[in-house]
A = this chain, B = another copy of it.
């Protein structure tokens, strides 16, 4: 036990603070601070997933001198952290968010023949030495573990202090590298093109959605439409602060991209995740076609990220998700082309609990235990009649700490038709740390609802209606660990539980 952890534990025995918890399915840094995922790429030669991340290795909170922390995994679940891969060269300089591509044809000229084509790795990132933000390049000849900064940096400088987060990809149809990058406070996603990753030409601007304070972390991905051979382009965009629910949010637009301009199919604003803690989504580059589109976000919110209970490390990434597009029912009349998301992780099931086809009556309770505090659950239910005021019929899933002191209440009120997620606010006390998020969900024509959730110590990722809506939220219990899961109703003959199952997990 490290001294800092010991001190923290002793302090927590006296005060009512959150126990140290480290999620198992979510990447967390060994020590120091983590925010946005950066440079996500898949190494086809060694079959390894690489993630980099905004890192302050010195302290468990954000400071200017950000590094690119680095970790690798074979399964997107069990991560090995390595030395920081790109580091600031002087005090006050930050190596900010960016992306990585595999330059197998050596378009950049950074490589010689001794470097295997699949290990010709180039990072494009934002450097902020203080008052200006430029895009820089660095290359790695050892598979992404160490990088050499390009001696003629920057590769893109428009004399702006708010110009950042380059996400680069190879665009086959127009035979060029494409960079999306934001002019953050002008609400512009800018698209640039390049033949060599060094010289960049401006193509177009795109601006839409809910603006908030500023745009961050854009990204373009070609996403398959489920059940077809077609694809559409998805333009991801993070905003922070000023999200409608407070702080940080990730939006996206669906459209077409010809290598020069992105044209949205409509003017509607969509969110990747409607929870309070899902920011700065980035997709992996160089993924094999069979694996589809895979991305990772930061699971926190800038309103309180620096202040959540912590010992010598702070911050976690959301689980990797697979993204497809589908025409999703959003009300009885309309289907909107929307993202469908499913988490990707590998875990062992230590125990399965399941109930099927139960009419849940008032006072009934289906109670499952979780030993690890890490579990997935499925809840399929049907509301058997139409309910209007003054009835107030709840179906509630309570997730309770092992000391019984705190519970999450996740549920549904049949006359409102929306889900609520209510987290305790007594352990982590912060004025921006709101209790309730809700999700308005369109059921099937038979009024069936489907929820899949993954709970990992102190974070929950919820997926409604087979992943057509997601909500990611962190939470704090005084003993750190969910232990009991109960499903209850206050109403007779209304909720038919088609399936309620819990699988306790270990990695």
Contacts and interface: CB of A to CB of B under 8 A. Distances in A.
A293 B495 CA distance: 48
Contacts of A84: none
A411 B411 CA distance: 30
Interface string A199-235: 0000000011111111000000000000000000000
Interface string A142-175: 0000000000000000000010000000000000
Interface residues of A, number: 64
A240 to B, nearest CB: 9
A105 interface: no
Given A303-B438, A411-B431, A431-B436, A418 B269 contact: no
Contacts of A488: none
A334 interface: yes
Contact of A432 (B209, B246, B416): B416
Contact of A438 (B187, B246, B394): B246
Contacts of A187: 268, 334
A267 interface: yes
Given A268-B209, A390-B61, A241 B418 contact: yes
Given A418-B241, A418-B246, A306 B271 contact: no
Nearest to A431: B420
Which of A208, A249, A434 has the most C-beta atoms of chain B within 10 angstroms of its own C-beta? A434
A394 B432 CA distance: 12
A434 B432 contact: no
A422 B431 contact: yes
A307 B437 contact: no
Contacts of A334: 185-187
B431 A413 contact: yes
B336 A389 contact: no
Contacts of A268: 187, 207-211
Interface stretch (A37-45, A284-292, A325-333): A325-333
Contacts of A417: 241
Nearest to A436: B434
B436 A246 contact: yes
Given A246-B437, A420-B432, A389 B208 contact: no
A61 B415 CA distance: 13
A394 B302 CA distance: 16
Which of A186, A209, A269 has the most C-beta atoms of chain B within 10 angstroms of its own C-beta? A269
15 contacts: A185-B332, A209-B267, A209-B268, A210-B244, A210-B269, A241-B416, A246-B418, A246-B420, A246-B437, A246-B438, A264-B267, A267-B267, A431-B436, A434-B437, A435-B435
Interface of A: 61-62, 162, 185-187, 207-214, 241-247, 249, 264, 266-269, 271, 274, 302-304, 306-307, 330-334, 336, 389-390, 392, 394, 409, 411, 413, 415-418, 420, 422, 425, 431-438, 440, 442
Given A210-B269, A264-B267, A431-B436, 20 more contacts: A61-B390, A62-B389, A185-B331, A185-B334, A187-B268, A208-B267, A208-B268, A209-B267, A209-B269, A210-B210, A210-B268, A241-B417, A246-B418, A247-B418, A303-B416, A303-B438, A306-B389, A409-B431, A420-B432, A434-B438
